[in-house]
Amino acid sequence: MQARKKYVLLGLCACCWLVLFYCGGGAQLRLLRLLTRHRSEVVRPWPNWTDRAFLPRYAHLDELQTDPGTAESPRQRRQAWSAIYKDSHCRMETCFDFSRCRRRGREGFRVYIYPSEKNDRISESYRKILTSIAESRYYTSDPREACLFVLGIDTLDRDQLSGQFVPNVDERIQGYPLWNDGRNHLIFNLYSGTWPNYTEDLGFDIGQAILAKASLNTEHFRAGFDVSIPLFSKDHPQKGGERGWLERNSVPPRRKYLLMFKGKRYLTGIGSDTRNALHHIHNGKDIVSLTTCRHGKDWEKHKDARCDHDNLEYERFDYQELLHNSTFCLVPRGRRLGSFRFLESLQAACIPVLLSNGWELPFSDVIQWNQAVIEGDERLLLQVPSTVRAVGNERVLALRQRTQMLWEAYFSSVDKIVLTTLEIIKDRVFSHVSRNKYMWNFLPGGLLVLPEYSTHLAHFPFYYLGLGVSPGQEFTAVINAVSPLVSQSQPIMKLLQVVSKSKYCSQIIILWNSEKPLPSRSKWPPMPVPLTVTDGRRKVRMILITSYFLFWVILVFCHFLCLNAFLALFKYVHYICSSF
């Protein structure tokens, strides 16, 4: 009976709930739909501020100008890149013919330069690049021996508005019988694209060629294939170059100014966003950030309210004085990602603070740039002052020392830039016998450490201190032979016999620099140690560097020999040089 009453009571409750839902539930459902409606469908009126008259007025939406330099979307840039560089996924394994380079072992790495036509216009910078290659140990005049090919056409400046622009490059390179869609070709470029977007358009299809380019974007950089090079001016020295300035300003580690920048301010176009904001960090005391609008033909047309003040402030400071007396140098992007001030900062031991998002730094495959520069973000400009203030004195000195090492090893001349590019490619071709990053990033640098000698760090005296290795007592005797080999009684024969009897001698190397042909192996006496005779005429210009070479040989021997053995060897070297 009680169960029956219970079921009747539940039924009445259910009926009452249905009646209530039918009468008033429609409004609740409409409210539920309104709350769950998509945000974009909800109309939100603009608030009516009561204190609107007291708020500062900014530009109205209709007054804002569209920046032509930022009109391209990332997708459009990728599509443009794909249309220009059809082999954007090239790697050494897929787009390079190794067989051309390995015919004679590591000696097979030869570079051929296509001859230029009579009426070709070649810029001073490209002429320096071609000269550096032609004077290197890798150059060959026979294309059949070549592993790598370099165009005789100037491809450095691909800005169509430039006077150095060379037209019809695509048609000309397609006519080269060895072009082969660019395989095993090396193309140099400093400037690409034109106003307003300055894309990486070279104006011709590079195919499967290796691109050695300045201002390379990380998005388009083919890692392990392309080579990022620095942007350098036409006045950059062909050889040698000035040394860095750290030795003159080493103590104290911090200079008069903490951070400096002095350069152009772009009023419109790509790169203007970064340059227009630099005045925000200027305090006129330890941070000096100066810009000027006075450049270009129509700067007055785009002149804004801040230009006059900026131009006056700009003239108050000397650029060289700021450069030499600043701890950090701001290196923002310009129209392109790279700029000349990057190399200027390295030479001046002014630690570069980079504001160039997406820039693939020069020789990034081998150089550890985090030990020489501070990488900032264009979007976080206001954090730069606090970032550089937080860098301790020990790190400041370490960063400045590394800038000097990199400048003198790889960037002080066009020769070093070009040879570094070739050595990086050579290490990729012969990856089993290549330099490691330690060799590239510590003195004396990768250009002076040949992997043909050894790939083991402990075999080089340069790295003893860093590795904690003690030098051994054995030495390698290097003899420079200039006079022809006539009889067994010549001084060089006596020298060989005496030196080879030393218990410290591990091997003997003879550099043959005589005008006479290299003698056969049977002409040399039997030795208790390995004897290597190499044709020095093909390796180096010995007449110019003999004294320099012998000086460094003696210094290296100092690490290996005891004093008596060193003095004895010095007498023999002096004797053989005087006899020649």
Question: What are the φ and ψ backbone dihedral angles of 105, each rounded to 5 degrees?
Answer: 70, -145
Lowest-pLDDT choice from 334-343, 375-384, 425-434, 563-572: 563-572
Q: What is the pLDDT of residue 18?
A: 67
Distance (Å) of CA 247 to CA 293, 395, 458: 36, 17, 29
The SS3 assignment for 417 reads: helix
Single-letter amino acid code for the residue at 244: G
Instruction: Answer for the pair 212, 409: CB distance below 8 angstroms, yes or no.
Output: no
Nearest to 286 by CA among 316, 251, 256, 315: 256
236-254 as b/e: b if 16+ CB within 10 A: bebeebeebbbeeeeeebe
Instruction: Answer for the pair 262, 314: CB distance below 8 angstroms, yes or no.
Output: yes
pLDDT band at 551; cut points 50, 70, 90: very low
Adjacency order of strands within the sheet including 505-512: 475-481, 505-512, 531-535
Q: What is the pLDDT of residue 308?
A: 84
Nearest to 460 by CA among 481, 477, 480, 446: 446
Instruction: Answer for the pair 331, 388: CB distance below 8 angstroms, yes or no.
Output: no
Q: Write out the two tokens for 315.
A: 């003239």
Distance (Å) of CA 534 to CA 234, 389, 466, 480, 510: 38, 55, 32, 10, 6
Q: Write out the two tokens for 40.
A: 């974009």
Q: What is the pLDDT of residue 17?
A: 66
Give yes or no for a cis peptide into 444 (omega within 30° of 0).
yes
Mean pLDDT of 141-157: 95
Q: What is the sign, positive or negative, of the torsion defined by CA atoms of 248, 251, 255, 258?
A: positive
Query: With 50 as the cut, is the pLDDT of residue 497 above it?
Result: yes
Pairing of strands 185-189, 227-228: unpaired
Give the list of residues 6+ apart from residue 575 with CB closer than 8 angstroms, or none.
Answer: 491, 495
The burial class, CB within 10 Å (0-12 / 13-18 / 19+), for 116 is: middle
Q: With pLDDT > 90 as the criterion, what percentage of the chain qualifies?
A: 45
Nearest to 205 by CA among 113, 79, 83, 80: 83
Query: With 70 as the cut, is the pLDDT of residue 177 above it?
Result: yes
Single-letter amino acid code for the residue at 529: V
Mean pLDDT of 389-413: 96
Single-letter amino acid code for the residue at 274: T
pLDDT band at 465; cut points 50, 70, 90: confident
Distance separating alpha carbons of residues 444 and 462, to the nearest angstrom: 7
Q: With pLDDT > 70 as the criterion, what percentage of the chain qualifies?
A: 76
Span 273-313, pLDDT tens digits: 788 889 889 998 999 999 988 776 666 676 777 888 888 88
Mean pLDDT of 170-188: 94
Distance (Å) of CA 228 to CA 105, 185, 215: 27, 16, 7
Q: What is the pLDDT of residue 546?
A: 45
Position with higher pLDDT, 19 vs 421: 421
Class of domain 246-404: alpha beta
Q: What is the pLDDT of residue 253?
A: 86
Query: With 90 as the cut, is the pLDDT of residue 544 above it?
Result: no
Span 412-421, pLDDT tens digits: 999 999 999 9
Mean pLDDT of 32-54: 52
Question: What are the φ and ψ backbone dihedral angles of 88, each rounded to 5 degrees?
Answer: -75, -10
Span 27-40, pLDDT tens digits: 555 545 555 554 44
pLDDT band at 169; cut points 50, 70, 90: very high
Query: With 60 as the cut, is the pLDDT of residue 570 above it?
Result: no
Nearest to 262 by CA among 318, 342, 344, 335: 318
Ranges of beta strands (E only) in 60-154 are 103-106, 111-113, 148-150
The ranges assigned to domains in the chain are 73-228, 246-404, 475-579
Q: Write out the two tokens for 100.
A: 């051309």
Cα distance from N-terminal residue to C-terminal residue, the chain? 134
Q: What is the pLDDT of residue 524?
A: 84
Instruction: Answer for the pair 446, 368: CB distance below 8 angstroms, yes or no.
Output: no
Distance separating alpha carbons of residues 159 and 202, to the nearest angstrom: 8
Distance separating alpha carbons of residues 287 and 278, to the nearest angstrom: 11
Helices (H), 430-517: 437-441, 464-467, 491-500
Number of H-type helices and E-type strands within the chain: 17, 14
Q: Write out the two tokens for 537.
A: 């005429």
Q: Write out the two tokens for 11.
A: 């039924």
Mean pLDDT of 217-245: 93
Give the list of residues 6+ apart from residue 233 with CB closer than 8 angstroms, or none.
Answer: 125, 340
Neighbours of 485 (CB within 10 A): 19
Distance separating alpha carbons of residues 63 and 82, to the nearest angstrom: 36
CA trace torsion 449, 453, 454, 455 (10° rounding): 50
Adjacency order of strands within the sheet including 148-150: 111-113, 148-150, 185-189, 210-213, 227-228
Which of the 8 DSSP states describes residue 409?
I
- Angle between helix axes 542-560 and 563-579 (nearest 10 degrees) is 160
Instruction: Answer for the pair 225, 92: CB distance below 8 angstroms, yes or no.
Output: yes
Helix, strand, coil share (%) of the chain residues, nearest 5: 40, 15, 45
Query: With 90 as the cut, is the pLDDT of residue 261 above it?
Result: yes
